[in-house]
């Protein structure tokens, strides 16, 4: 009896193993998923980012100023990428995300330092992502104190210098857009991108595969509807659903977490519409590749993981290596999270976020053409 039971179990297990081997897509997903997790967590994720983009507003120049800038550069926290001519340009660089820090050297800084005074030196920090900038902001005061110590008149300064007192200079860190360092202000806008990515891509990915499994795809192919018309008809209901989700998330963010609501509604509406569209197109493209709803779901989750890990939602984007950032720039979630955080937290306008909107538009065009080509192959 036991031998027969074991034989039946072995036969069923052998059949399942053969089916798994024949399903190459599933086998590839099972192999690629752990490899992707190891690579992303081991190499791409860094919670102590270095070489953060920094601009300098230089109102004075001299040996002490050059020593401060050299100290910032040598610390590896700051990557000095040029100068700004005015406070307005500094604000624009922070608002558009071109810089995470702006160092301001005030007028008469060298003269006041040589006279024994403690002139202020300002660091404007983009605090919308506190994890990305907190370590560099904390290192600013010791770096400045160390740099100006040789230029302080009189007897040498003590080695231990407090952040408040400084050593010949008075470093001030101004945390912009999120002075309290509240993680909710950073997480909630990013959560909008992750939720829309998950729901929009997944729901559309199973659209054509559901038709195939139910046996209704033949009727759809025999209809006079063109590929573009089928794609539009499949995605329009989900666009409405995505807009509804956006309203719910934004309302909840304002009521529950006091996320500021002083933003450009037009810019946000365009960004959300483009982002929903591109995720629907990616999902539709997956549905033309998959042979079943299970495969479509597997493809979707394979795309969602990099979107969460490499978009700056969970981990600082600036702390990732260049190869990981290159992949991140190809993901619509990256551009959307940057856009939404800028609009909601920095009161950015349409002119401030147009590069990200242009990237989302380009991704829409790419996946629309790819989906149409794959769907025509299905017709043939």
Domain ranges of the chain: 52-176, 183-379
Average pLDDT over every residue of 26-53: 71
Which of 89, 240, 260 has its CA nearest to residue 185?
260
90-94, 191-195, 254-258: least confident range: 254-258
Cβ pair 247, 171 in contact under 8 A: no
Average pLDDT over every residue of 258-274: 86
pLDDT per residue as tens digits for the range 339-368: 999 998 888 899 999 999 999 999 999 998
pLDDT per residue as tens digits for the range 160-185: 444 444 457 889 999 998 888 788 88
pLDDT(158) > 50: no
The CA-atom distances, in angstroms, between 47 and each of 44, 86, 317, 318, 319 are 10, 32, 9, 10, 7
Average pLDDT over every residue of 94-120: 90
Cβ pair 234, 284 in contact under 8 A: yes
Which of 357, 363, 318 has its CA nearest to residue 46?
318
Which of 91, 253, 250, 72 has its CA nearest to residue 176?
91
Q: What's the pLDDT at 182?
A: 82
Strand partners, 303: none
Q: What's the pLDDT at 160?
A: 45
Strand partners, 78: 52
pLDDT per residue as tens digits for the range 187-224: 888 889 999 998 899 888 887 777 777 766 666 666 67
- Which of 63-77, 142-156, 253-267, 306-320 reaches the highest mean pLDDT? 63-77
Residues 185, 191, 193, 197: what is their CA dihedral angle, to the nearest 10 degrees?
A: 180
Q: Using the 8-state DSSP alphabet, how is residue 157 labeled?
A: P
Average pLDDT over every residue of 220-237: 72
Q: What's the pLDDT at 165?
A: 44
Q: What's the pLDDT at 26?
A: 64
The CA-atom distances, in angstroms, between 318 and each of 44, 78, 80, 193, 233 are 11, 11, 14, 18, 39
pLDDT per residue as tens digits for the range 9-18: 777 777 667 7
Residue 83 phi, psi dihedral angles, 5° rounding? -120, 160
Q: Could you tell me which residues come within 8 angstroms of residue 88 by beta carbon, excluding any fewer than 6 positions away?
A: none
More confident site: 54 or 9: 54
The CA-atom distances, in angstroms, between 124 and each of 43, 54, 109, 175 are 30, 10, 17, 6
CATH class of 52-176: alpha beta
Residue 104 phi, psi dihedral angles, 5° rounding? -110, 115
Averaged confidence pLDDT in the chain: 83
Q: What's the pLDDT at 72?
A: 93
Q: What's the pLDDT at 42?
A: 67
pTM: 0.81
pLDDT(122) > 90: yes
pLDDT(237) > 90: no
Burial 30-69 (b: 16+ CB within 10 A, else e): eeeeeeeeeebeeebbeeebeebbbbbbeebeeebbebbb
């Amino acid at each position: 009896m036991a031998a027969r039971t074991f034989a039946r179990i072995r036969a069923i297990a052998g059949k399942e193993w053969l089916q798994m081997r024949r399903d190459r897509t599933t086998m590839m997903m099972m192999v690629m998923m752990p490899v992707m997790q190891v690579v992303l967590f081991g190499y791409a994720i860094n919670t102590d980012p270095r070489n953060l983009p920094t601009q300098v507003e230089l109102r004075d120049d001299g040996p002490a100023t050059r020593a401060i800038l050299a100290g910032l550069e040598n610390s590896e926290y700051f990557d000095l990428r040029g100068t700004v001519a005015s406070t307005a340009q500094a604000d624009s660089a922070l608002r558009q995300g071109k810089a995470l820090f702006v160092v301001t050297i005030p007028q008469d800084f060298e003269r006041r330092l040589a006279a024994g005074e403690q002139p202020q030196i300002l660091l404007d920090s983009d605090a919308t992502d506190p994890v990305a900038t907190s370590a560099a902001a904390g290192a600013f005061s010791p770096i400045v104190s160390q740099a100006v110590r040789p230029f302080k008149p009189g007897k040498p300064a003590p080695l231990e210098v407090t952040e408040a007192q400084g050593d010949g200079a008075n470093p001030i860190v101004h945390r912009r857009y999120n002075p309290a360092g509240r993680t909710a202000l950073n997480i909630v806008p990013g959560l909008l991108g992750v939720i829309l990515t998950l729901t929009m891509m997944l729901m559309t990915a199973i659209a054509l595969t559901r038709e195939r499994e139910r046996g209704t795809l033949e009727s759809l192919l025999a209809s006079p509807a063109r590929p573009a018309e089928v794609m539009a008809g499949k995605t329009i209901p989900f666009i409405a659903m995505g807009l509804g989700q956006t309203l719910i998330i934004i309302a909840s963010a304002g009521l529950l977490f006091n996320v500021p609501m002083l933003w450009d509604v037009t810019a946000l509406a365009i960004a959300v519409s483009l982002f929903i569209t591109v995720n629907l197109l990616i999902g539709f493209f997956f549905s033309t590749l998959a042979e079943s709803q299970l495969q479509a779901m597997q493809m979707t989750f394979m795309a969602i993981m990099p979107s969460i890990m490499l978009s700056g939602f969970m981990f600082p984007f600036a702390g990732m290596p260049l190869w990981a950032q290159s992949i991140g720039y190809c993901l619509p979630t990256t551009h959307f999270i940057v856009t939404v955080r800028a609009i909601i937290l920095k009161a950015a306008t349409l002119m401030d976020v147009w590069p990200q909107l242009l990237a989302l538009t380009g991704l829409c065009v790419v996946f629309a053409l790819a989906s149409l080509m794959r769907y025509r192959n299905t017709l043939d």
